[in-house]
Amino acid sequence: MKQIWRVLAAPSTLFLLGLCAWIGCEVPHARSSSADGIAFYGQYRASMPEPQAMQKITKNGEDFYVCFGPVRMPLILRSGPPAYVFDAHGNLVDWTLDTGDDSRFSSAWGIEQGTDFEIEDYEKLLAQNRKGV
């Protein structure tokens, strides 16, 4: 019986250590990428990591802009990056922690049909909209 315990102890320990490391990465990522408390693009830029890319999506005749954030933790098992959808006035409309696994988000926004858009151009658009230009 002692031999079985010794044989199982090492793999069990390695599994538990791996599980703890994975959870240790998932929780901080979920916290650092959460849009809770964010209502506007300026708040997003002030509290979130630098966006990695942006896309423009037209839905029902209205333009929306999707910022894709980074996945920074090494053990995160994500199928896609976090994404944050803003309107032309900088209002946060929707967001997801994982674009690859969130079927609700994917069907609502169809990000695979979006076109690349420069973050600087979106910020210029926001400045124009604030001035009423």
Written as tens digits, the pLDDT of the chain (133 aa) is: 567 666 666 666 655 555 444 454 455 444 445 666 889 999 999 888 788 899 999 999 999 999 998 765 555 555 778 999 999 999 999 999 888 878 899 889 987 788 999 999 999 999 998 865 4
119 CB-side CA count, 13 A: 13
* Token pair belonging to 100: 């690859």
SS3 30: helix
Q: How many domains does the chain have?
A: 1
Domain that holds residue 106: 2-131
- Predicted structure pTM score: 0.73
> Do 106 and 95 touch, CB atoms closer than 8 A?
no
